[in-house]
């Protein structure tokens, strides 16, 4: 055992020497493996990061929600003409009706909107969209407040409180960045409102009335009191998990068709934006992207593999004379192959280690870089360990195999032939 250890140590020492002697070739081999590992690991890291970010951005609008606007009928129904506008009167019990009749809906809220409202604080005034809505809106539309603040709640609705929840952008514009405005009073349309919360920073890739960071949200009841307009601009609902959003849509047409007396088959009576459909589509597109990435990764691995194989093969071939000399000194085939394989392993491990380390460093740097807007999708690359390890493993195996066969061949021929090799 002691002898074996000594032998291995000595071989490693010789390999170290060889590393120095054949710096260029060894470094090229290490570089090939490092480069292959980095390419594939980073490719997949950005792919994973992209998917994460896109999912996050996708969820910025809300996860699995549907938005409904009242439309205009295009079919005569029960003696009523076509061309009637469908509008949701807030106090007609429409929300309660939908809740009780459409079982596939988990949550629903109406939304009042009014554009260009004066928001005033200490003499400064800006104009923003004001939204009046209900507590359910918070979860559905991912309107989460930063610590220390909150969204509209039940009591706000019941007591018609003059409280306001601000989008990130609005808060920054009115109060400046890094200021916590909770508890401050702002005037909306001349009426004082207490700030109860500011939205967290979130990514949002789609919207229907402008990004949420530009929202000013007040209780629906307060909105009604202030503006007196009884019609919801739109409804937002969330479909229960596992329920098909299309069937919920049908139920909704039937329920509202009965209420507003339009033909449930009249598709123009309600305008529906099904974000779930979009999400499904997105999943398919991303599956395509992922397959493409894997394909590119596979090709890269293949090319790196050829590079490693080539270097290893040439390396062993050009040392055939050395193998001959060692055999003339009494080395056995096994000892020679062992040396080459130890060498291949050292090179592979060094290359793989470097490759993974550099990949980790690059992804860490990307995560630290401040990247907003369009680049935000690239800001969260994540090293996929199985991919990294499989890459290193494959390249090492290729290096091994392409070194093993010429080494075994050189070790099995007559030493005199190996010595004669030029």
By the rule CB under 8 A, 303 interacts with another protein: no
By the rule CB under 8 A, 331 interacts with another protein: yes
Q: Near another protein by CB under 8 A, which window of 173-181, 301-309, 330-338, 343-351?
A: 330-338
Binding mask 22-51 for another protein (x = CB under 8 A): x-----------------------------
> 262-295 burial, b if ≥16 CB within 10 A, otherwise e?
bbbebeebbebbbbbeebeebeeebeeeeeebee
**What does the alpha-carbon distance between residue 418 and residue 326 come to, in Å, rounded to a whole number?**
10
**What does the alpha-carbon distance between residue 154 and residue 138 come to, in Å, rounded to a whole number?**
12
Site for another protein in 62-101 (CB under 8 A): none
**What does the alpha-carbon distance between residue 113 and residue 266 come to, in Å, rounded to a whole number?**
26
When binding is defined by CB under 8 A, the residue of 194, 207, 335, 342 that contacts another protein is 335
When binding is defined by CB under 8 A, the residue of 1, 24, 329, 368 that contacts another protein is 329
By the rule CB under 8 A, 14 interacts with another protein: yes
Q: Near another protein by CB under 8 A, which window of 7-15, 124-132, 146-154, 240-248?
A: 7-15
Choose between 26 and 119: whose C-beta lies nearer to another protein.
26
Choose between 12 and 371: whose C-beta lies nearer to another protein.
12
By the rule CB under 8 A, 10 interacts with another protein: yes
By residue count, the chain amounts to 422
Helix axes 23-61, 333-368, angle to 10 degrees: 40
Query: Which DSSP string do the residues of 124-176 spell out, in sequence order?
Result: EEEEEEEEEE-THHHHHTT-PBPTT-----HHHHHTT--EEEE-HHHHHHHH-
Token pair belonging to 357:
């380390």
By the rule CB under 8 A, 3 interacts with another protein: yes
> Do 168 and 138 touch, CB atoms closer than 8 A?
no
Report helix, strand or coil for 206: coil
By the rule CB under 8 A, 342 interacts with another protein: no
**What does the alpha-carbon distance between residue 394 and residue 348 come to, in Å, rounded to a whole number?**
10
Q: Smallest gap, in angstroms, from Cβ of residue 346 to another protein?
A: 14
Pairing of strands 105-121, 124-133: antiparallel
Q: Smallest gap, in angstroms, from Cβ of residue 28 to another protein?
A: 17
Q: Near another protein by CB under 8 A, which window of 15-23, 89-97, 229-237, 277-285?
A: 15-23
When binding is defined by CB under 8 A, the residue of 160, 390, 419, 421 that contacts another protein is 419
> Do 245 and 66 touch, CB atoms closer than 8 A?
yes
By the rule CB under 8 A, 322 interacts with another protein: yes
Binding mask 399-418 for another protein (x = CB under 8 A): -------------x-xxx--
Binding site for another protein (CB under 8 A): 2-3, 6-7, 10, 13-14, 17-18, 20-22, 321-322, 324-333, 335, 412, 414-416, 419
């Amino acid at each position: 055992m002691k002898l074996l250890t000594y032998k291995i140590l000595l071989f490693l020492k010789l390999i170290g020497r060889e590393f120095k002697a054949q710096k260029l070739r060894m470094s090229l081999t290490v570089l090939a493996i490092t480069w292959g590992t980095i390419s594939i690991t980073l490719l997949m890291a950005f792919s994973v990061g992209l998917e994460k970010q896109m999912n996050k951005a996708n969820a910025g609008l809300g996860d699995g929600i549907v938005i409904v606007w009242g439309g205009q009928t295009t079919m005569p129904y029960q003696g009523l003409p076509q061309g009637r506008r469908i509008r949701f009167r807030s106090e007609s019990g429409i929300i309660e009706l939908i809740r009780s009749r459409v079982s596939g809906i988990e949550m629903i809220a109406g939304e009042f909107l009014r554009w260009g409202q004066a928001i005033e604080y200490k003499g400064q005034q800006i104009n923003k969209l004001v939204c009046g809505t209900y507590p359910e809106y918070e979860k559905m539309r991912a309107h989460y407040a930063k610590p220390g603040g909150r969204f509209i709640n039940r009591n706000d609705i019941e007591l018609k409180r003059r409280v306001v929840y601000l989008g990130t952008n609005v808060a920054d514009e009115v109060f400046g960045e890094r200021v916590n405005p909770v508890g401050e009073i702002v005037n909306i349309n001349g009426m004082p409102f207490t700030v109860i919360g500011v939205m967290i920073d979130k990514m949002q890739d789609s919207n229907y009335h402008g990004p949420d960071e530009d929202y000013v949200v007040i209780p629906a009841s307060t909105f009604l009191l202030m503006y007196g307009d009884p019609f919801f601009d739109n409804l937002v609902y969330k479909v229960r998990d596992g329920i098909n959003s299309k069937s919920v849509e049908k139920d909704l047409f039937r329920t509202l068709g009965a209420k507003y007396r339009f033909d449930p088959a009249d598709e123009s009576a309600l305008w529906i934006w099904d974000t779930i459909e979009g999400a499904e589509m997105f999943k398919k597109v991303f599956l395509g992207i992922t397959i493409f990435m894997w394909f590119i990764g596979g090709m890269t691995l293949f090319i790196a593999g050829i590079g490693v194989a080539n270097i290893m093969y040439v390396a062993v071939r050009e040392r055939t004379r050395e193998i001959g000399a060692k055999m003339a000194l009494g080395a056995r085939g096994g000892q020679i192959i062992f040396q080459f394989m130890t060498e291949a392993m050292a090179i592979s491990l060094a290359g793989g280690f470097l490759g993974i380390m550099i990949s980790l460093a690059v992804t860490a740097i990307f995560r630290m870089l401040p990247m907003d807007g369009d680049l935000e999708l690239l800001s969260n690359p994540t090293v996929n360990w199985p991919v990294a390890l499989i890459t290193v493993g494959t390249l090492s195996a290729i290096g091994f195999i392409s070194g093993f066969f010429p080494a075994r061949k050189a070790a099995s021929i007559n030493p005199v032939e190996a010595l004669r090799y030029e």
